[in-house]
Amino acid sequence: MKLIVGNWKMNPPNLAQAKRLFSLVAKGAKNLKGVRVVICPPFLYLPYFSSKNHLFLGAQNCFWEKTGAFTGEISPLMLKSLKVKYVILGHSERRRIFSETDVMVAKKIKTALDLKLNPILCIGEDLKERKTKKTRIVLKKQLKGSLSGLKKEKLSQVILAYEPVWAIGSGYPCDAKEAKDTLIFLRKFFKNKILYGGSVNSQNARFYLEAGFDGLLIGGASLKAQEFIKIIKIASLKQ
Ligand code: PGA
C-alpha cells in the first residue's frame, strides 16, 4: 500500500480555500485502491476535516510534552482528540528556520509514539553537504539522532521521508537513480516505509515509486487538487 502525504505547509491562506481543496481531494481519492492518502493542513484547519475512506489526517509538527506552560505549542494529545493519525516531524523547514535539532525531534517522536500517532520523520542533506559528498554521513547522523532512545519494537511504527533539502520547493527534484541509491543505503538501517519528498509532481512521481519508495511526501503539488489527485492515481496503479 503506497502512502501519499500532502504537506500543505502554511497554505492556503483562509478556511474557505482549505475546505475547498480538502473536499476536491477527498472526492478525487475516493474508491482508489492500494493507496493511503494523508493530508497535513495547518493546525487551525484540522477541526474542520475528518478522515474518510483511504484519506487520513496528519499534522505538520507537534510538541514533545502533552500539556503545560508551553506558549504557542501544540500537544500531540490535542491532535489525537481531533482524530489526527500522522504527524510530520523534523521537516527541514523546522530544522532550518526554527532550529530544531535531532535531540528535539527524538523527543517529539517518542511522545508521538507513546500516544499512537504515526510519526513521519524527515531527513535530508542540504546542497553544500551534497556537493561535498557528505550525504550519507548526514543522513545516518540524522536518522540515528532522531531515533535515539527508541525501543526497537517502536521503530516499526515510524515512517521515514527522505527529502533532499535542495530539492524541496526548488523545482529541482532529485534524479530518480540518485534517490534510489540513497534508498538502498537507508534500507540498511531502516526497515519500515520510506517516502521520497522534494519537488514531486505528476510528471516525476512514478519514477520514485518505481525506484522502490513506499510513497511520497508532497508540498507544492498537494495544493493543486487536480495535480495531487493525478499523483494519487499514479500511486494507486503502482500498489
Ligand atoms: P515540495 O515540498 O513538494 O514543495 O518540494 C516537499 C516537502 O517539503 O515536504
Q: How much distance in Å is there from the Cα of 218 to the middle of ligand 1?
A: 5
Q: Mean pLDDT over residues 57-83, rounded?
A: 98
CB of 5 closer than 6 angstroms to any ligand 1 atom:
no
- pLDDT in the model for residue 37: 97
CB of 199 closer than 6 angstroms to any ligand 1 atom:
yes
CB of 204 closer than 6 angstroms to any ligand 1 atom:
no
Helix (H) or strand (E) segment spanning residue 164:
none
- pLDDT in the model for residue 31: 86
**Res. 201: pLDDT tops 80:** yes
Read off the C-alpha cell for 135. Answer: 550525504
Q: How much distance in Å is there from the Cα of 68 to the middle of ligand 1?
A: 32
CB of 198 closer than 6 angstroms to any ligand 1 atom:
yes
* Pocket perturbation via mutation, ligand 1, pick of 127, 172, 199 by most ligand atoms within 8 A of CB: 199
- If one counts every other C-beta atom within 10 angstroms of the C-beta of residue 101, the result is 12
Q: Are 210 and 176 in contact (CB under 8 A)?
A: yes
Q: Mean pLDDT over residues 110-136, rounded?
A: 97
**Res. 111: pLDDT tops 80:** yes
Cis amide bond preceding 42, omega within 30: no
- What are 28-58's pLDDT values in tens digits? 998 899 999 999 999 999 999 998 878 999 9
Cα 15 to Cα 88: distance, rounded to the nearest angstrom: 21
Phi, psi angles (nearest 5°) of residue 126:
-90, 180
pLDDT band of residue 152 (cuts 50, 70, 90) is confident
- pLDDT in the model for residue 16: 98
Atom of ligand 1 nearest to the CA of 92: 8
- Dihedral sign for Cα atoms in the order 95, 131, 181, 173: positive
What domains can be seen in the chain, in order of their start residue?
2-237 (3.20.20.70)
CA distances from 118 to 176, 205, 224 (A): 26, 23, 25
Question: In whole numbers, what is the pLDDT of the chain averaged over residues?
Answer: 96
Of 18, 68, 64, nearest to 43 (Cα)?
A: 18
Give 104's Cβ-side CA count (13 Å radius): 12
- Dihedral sign for Cα atoms in the order 144, 148, 153, 158: negative
**Res. 113: pLDDT tops 80:** yes
- pLDDT in the model for residue 54: 80
Q: Are 209 and 216 in contact (CB under 8 A)?
A: yes
**Res. 213: pLDDT tops 80:** yes
Count the helix, strand and coil residues of the chain and give each as a percent rounded to the nearest 5.
45, 15, 40
pLDDT band of residue 27 (cuts 50, 70, 90) is very high
Of 60, 77, 50, nearest to 10 (Cα)?
A: 60
**Res. 200: pLDDT tops 80:** yes
Cα 189 to Cα 102: distance, rounded to the nearest angstrom: 17
Lowest mean pLDDT among 4-18, 25-39, 95-109: 25-39
Classified as helix, coil or strand, 40 is: strand
Q: Is 54 a catalytic residue?
A: no
DSSP 165: G
- pLDDT in the model for residue 239: 59
| Higher-pLDDT residue of 119, 54 | 119
